[in-house]
Amino acid sequence: MSTLSDLTRIFTVAKTLDSRALNLAGAQPFRALIARGLYDVRPKSHDPLIAELARTGIVVCENFLLSDAFEDLTREVDEYMGANVNSTVIQDGADEIRRYSLGKVDPTRFPQLAQWRSNPVNALVSGAERRSVGRNFDGGALIEHVTIGVDEEKANPQDNTHLHIDTFFNTHKVWLYLDDVDAENGAFVFVPGSHLLDRVRLWHEYLESTGENRRSRRIGDDELKERGLQQRVVECRRNTLVVANTCGYHSRSIGKPGTSRRALHKEFRFNPFSLALGSQRKAG
């Protein structure tokens, strides 16, 4: 790709730029700084949960739904998965991730799933993203079923059991766990504070951009040590909501073969250079 066409990609959601000249000139950390600057001047929520999310990059809310509603929800999930419609499978290293889209969920038959699709976390995410996420935006709502693989040979340095960032700007993902989760069945792993930009992170963004990798940046132990950060395995009970800024370092724990866990999942990623404060479509 030419430098000229890459120039037009600077202010987009593209994870990386292909132009060696632009990358050597520092375009990638520049994009990260501009995106963060625009985020920082957006109106900020004073909600304590959102403040914690901004500070650490993650919040964990136990007993998110009332117990009756949660039990109804899990019954609906069993039925929806049993029907096995709208499902896709991703092989991520040794692990299998089966996703059941809720895009066409029937609200008469699955009222709890329809409610999850149409609402409950948009206010929280609006505060986190500092833009209004409209009621009609469902965050790509789906059921995620992770099964830990048995074939170690499928493990791959690019799979999501390795610490990585999703992209260079603030972007949020949400899980409502339907099963108890621990390190054995593919827990979410997050490094609190890693979403913040400092010299070390920007330097590694720069180094990576001058190399060959054009996928999500993988994080080495050296970067963690240099920043004095430590990873946290998010072990939790069913009916726990986790919201994370996946601009921060994160992964999935390397689990015990044969175990599995399910969650309702949504993700929110918008063009960080857009000045609009209102509802937007997912941007890539």
The binding track of 122-161 with respect to Fe ion, each residue x by CB under 5 A or -, is ----------------------------------------
For residue 107, count other CB atoms closer than 10 A to its CB: 12
Q: Which is nearer to Fe ion, 190 or 206 (CB)?
A: 190
**Smallest gap, in angstroms, from Cβ of residue 216 to Fe ion?**
6
Residue 8 to residue 248: CA distance in whole angstroms: 26
- Closest distance to Fe ion from the beta carbon of 214 (Å): 16
Nearer to Fe ion, 166 or 208 (CB): 166
User: Token pair of 73, please?
Assistant: 């929800």
Q: Hey, what are 225's tokens?
A: 């040590």
- Candidates 2-10, 164-172, 227-235, 276-284: pick the segment binding Fe ion (CB under 5 A): 164-172
Of residues 19 and 171, the one with the C-beta less far from Fe ion: 171
Long-range contacts of 24-30 (CB under 8 A, 24+ apart): 24/210, 26/206, 27/209, 28/168, 28/205, 28/206, 28/208, 28/209, 29/202, 29/203, 29/205, 29/206, 29/209
Q: Output the smallest distance, CB 283 to Fe ion, in A.
A: 16
Least distance in Å: CB of 167 to Fe ion?
9
The span from the first CA to the last CA of the chain, in angstroms, equals 19
Q: Which stretch binds Fe ion (CB under 5 A): 23-31, 66-74, 137-145, 162-170?
A: 162-170
CA neighbor of 38 nearest in space, from 217, 203, 268, 271: 271
CA distance 11 to 14: 8
Q: How many of the chain's residues bind Fe ion (CB under 5 A)?
A: 1
- C-beta of 121: minimal distance to Fe ion in Å? 18
The whole-angstrom separation of Cα 246 and Cα 185 is 20
Q: Which of 166, 182, 205, 223 binds Fe ion (CB under 5 A)?
A: 166
- Which of 115, 216 has the CB closer to Fe ion? 216
Question: 29 or 248, CB closer to Fe ion?
Answer: 248
Residue with the closest Cβ to Fe ion? 166
Contacts to Fe ion from residues 27-56, by CB under 5 A: none
Nearer to Fe ion, 110 or 270 (CB): 270
CA distance 210 to 212: 7
Which one, 95 or 166, has the nearer CB to Fe ion? 166
Nearest one of 96, 15, 14 to 261, comparing CA atoms:
96
Q: How far, CA to CA in Å, does 281 sit from each of 135, 272, 273?
A: 12, 12, 14
Q: What phi and psi, each to the nearest 5 degrees, are found at residue 63?
A: 50, 55
Q: Which is nearer to Fe ion, 98 or 250 (CB)?
A: 250
Say whether residue 223 binds Fe ion (CB under 5 A). no
CB of 56 to Fe ion, least distance (A): 17
Smallest gap from Cβ 142 to Fe ion, in A, equals 15
Tokens of 38: 């625009």
Footprint on this chain of Fe ion (rule: CB under 5 A): 166
